[in-house]
Structure 1
Amino acid sequence: MRNRALEIPNTEEAVKEVIAFKDATWNWLTDSQMWMTILFAGIRIITIFLLTRLIIKIVYKVIDRSLTRQGNNRLNLNPRRFVTVGELLKNMTSFVCNFIMILIVLGEFDFKIGPLIASAGVLGLAIGFGAQSLVKDVITGFFIILEDQFAVGDVIQTGAFKGTVEMIGIRTTRIISQTGEVFILPNGSISTVTNYSVSNALAVVDLPIKNERTLDDTMQLIKEALVNVHEKNRNMISAPNVLGIQSLNTSEYVIRIVAECLPNTKGEIESQIQMGVKQALEHEESRLQAELDKMQAEEAIAAEASREGETGNGA
């Protein structure tokens, strides 16, 4: 009987707790003020999300139009540069807008944004001080792409490194030399760049000629040879120009030849000019030697005939 007497109050307390929990749940479910707050908060969050997406799309279109306008104003256009810059700017825009959206949404849930921003600032300073070289490489790489300093496929020289750009990254740039070496350079170390692929090149050839050859004949021969070289080479923009004597000494004089050519073809054009002039000189020497041999043969025949005539008269 005593146990039953103890169980009755416990049962009554449990029933009261269940009823209290039911009443609390019902009051919570029927709290119109709370549901209105949740509804308006949800509407604000959805509005913030939609506005963020709209702002991102608008900025994307502005970026695309700006890059298209810049591309139309340039003659030497490399589409990959503008694609890279566009994607980079779009990624930055998306990151910044989404970060701001997350902060505003957290504010709707009564999170204190001030300490969060302060913590993010402290973390950013710590990362900045701990990885200064990395930050420098990233910033320099961004401006290399943004300012269109060079692109993949360009022949450049930075410091002691010269070659063709194979890859431009945010942190590093990879260059391949003419002999096959691969240079991987941190963007932060690229201070000065010489780009050989932006504008036309000027091939310069200095030809040493022996003083035994007359100037007028040599100039005429070189000009004729250069006409043939220009006709066979499409990389020359204009016909080579003979500037005249560059230097002079007791044994030879040097004639300078210049020719405007396409980018990265300077060495090829100079080699072809030298080969063309050399072949013309050899052909001229062969012709002169043949004429000399012919003249000597004729003189020998004439001398032989003269000797035979003298012998006949003596007999």
Structure 2
Amino acid sequence: MSAACDADVLCQQVLDLTGIQWLASSSYVLFIKPLRVIGIIVIAMLIRWLLHRAIDRLAQSTSRASMPALLKPLKEKVSVTAEEGQFIPERRRQRAEAIGSVLRSFVSALVFTIAGLLVLGEFGFNLAPLLASAGIVGVAIGFGAQSLVKDLIAGLFMLLEDQYGVGDTVDVGEATGVVESVGLRITTVRDARGVLWYIRNGEIVRVGNKSQGWAMVVIDIPIGFVNAEEAVSVMRTAAEAVAAEPEHQTEFLEKPDVVGVEQLTVDGAVIRTIAKTTADAQPVLQGVLRRALTDALDAAGISERIAASRLGPRSAIPPSWLVAPENSSSSMKDERPGGAP
């Protein structure tokens, strides 16, 4: 009976203890294989738990000013100051949660797939045909769901590069508005008329983000034919006064500047004023600066001179239909019969 177990130690021990031949010959299947399968499952769950814990810690660390390198954008666009670093925007938290969710799903699928293949191998399945069939099915699904894969990959890179987030004002081509939700496949944008656009990430060719980093206020004011230096001086004083106001002082990233004559037209010169501001305050400061500049020109009496300079040169030039053509008298004289005057 001991020869039936050959060199199997476990079989020999079970045979010696029980004296049952079939139990001894099946000892490996009854005792070892279940333990190996349970061990594979336990180790897979432990690895999954450890990886999920590491991913959660990376995502939660975005609530602090120091952000882990893994969750940073691939290209930093704006340098964050100490004051800005104390406030972590909502979009960063949502972005970190989205990346963490993707990583957790990927880790779970990878770990359990490997564990399932190991378990099937323990039961004696030939994994080579199974892997070949899975590869063929994967290729077929890839060809049939090209747009879905394209959307998912584009959404993943959009999150990694931090192209835009919830609350940003973006221009994605046909739709321009505020981003309401960001996903791996779909981005929703609500435009100025309240229409909610569902845009596939794979179809977004270019994105103009109007809320990221800083913005530039550019105001062009025509001054006609008045003295440009005087107008520039008045406008520069008004712009600096707006930047010094307490409610707008923190919204200007740089001192506003009146750069001077931007272009010359038939109506006179055009003066340009620029100001570097925060992205959120740019629309408001555009109107505030424009109103302050026009009020300053009115107070200095330049607006009246601008209107007079526009009307003056035109009124001095008679219309073309009132100007008699040269040699008109001679031509009329020639047209009369006999050349009589």
Q: TM (normalized to structure 2)?
A: 0.68
Distance apart, 1:29 and its partner CA = 9.8
Note the 1:283-302 alignment, pairs <5 A.
283-285=299-301
Note the 1:48-59 alignment, pairs <5 A.
48-59=40-51
Distance apart, 1:274 and its partner CA = 0.8
Over the matched positions of the two proteins, sequence identity in percent amounts to: 31
2:133 and 2:72 mapped to 1: Cα distance? 45
The question of 1:133 aligning with 2:125 is answered no
Which one is further off, 65-74 or 187-196? 65-74
Distance apart, 1:224 and its partner CA = 2.3
Distance apart, 1:30 and its partner CA = 6.4
Q: SS of 1:260's equivalent?
A: strand
Runs of 4+ in 1 over 4 A off after TM superposition: 26-30, 64-68, 71-74, 286-289
Distance apart, 1:211 and its partner CA = 2.0
User: Which amino acid in the other structure matches residue 56 of structure 1?
Assistant: R
1:241 and 1:262 mapped to 2: Cα distance? 16
Match of 2:253 among 225, 237, 258: 237
Give the aligned partner of residue 130 of structure 2.
116
Contact 1:63 1:86 in 2 (8 A): yes
The question of 1:107 aligning with 2:107 is answered no
Give the aligned partner of residue 218 of structure 1.
231
2:157 and 2:20 mapped to 1: Cα distance? 57
User: Which amino acid in the other structure matches residue 149 of structure 1?
Assistant: Q
Contact 1:41 1:108 in 2 (8 A): yes
Note the 1:88-237 alignment, pairs <5 A.
88-212=102-226, 214-230=227-243, 231=245, 232-233=247-248, 234-237=250-253
Contact 1:155 1:264 in 2 (8 A): no
Give the aligned partner of residue 79 of structure 1.
93
Distance 1:194 1:51, change over 3 A: same
Q: Which has the larger radius of gyration?
A: 1
2:132 and 2:113 mapped to 1: Cα distance? 14
Distance 1:172 1:249, change over 3 A: closer
Unaligned runs of at least 5 residues, structure 1: 1-25, 290-315
- How many residues align? The count is 263
Deviation digits for residues 120-153 of structure 1 (CA, Å, limit 9, x no counterpart)? 2222222222222122112222222233222222
Q: TM (normalized to structure 1)?
A: 0.73
Unaligned runs of at least 5 residues, structure 2: 1-17, 62-67, 306-341
1:125 and 1:36 mapped to 2: Cα distance? 39
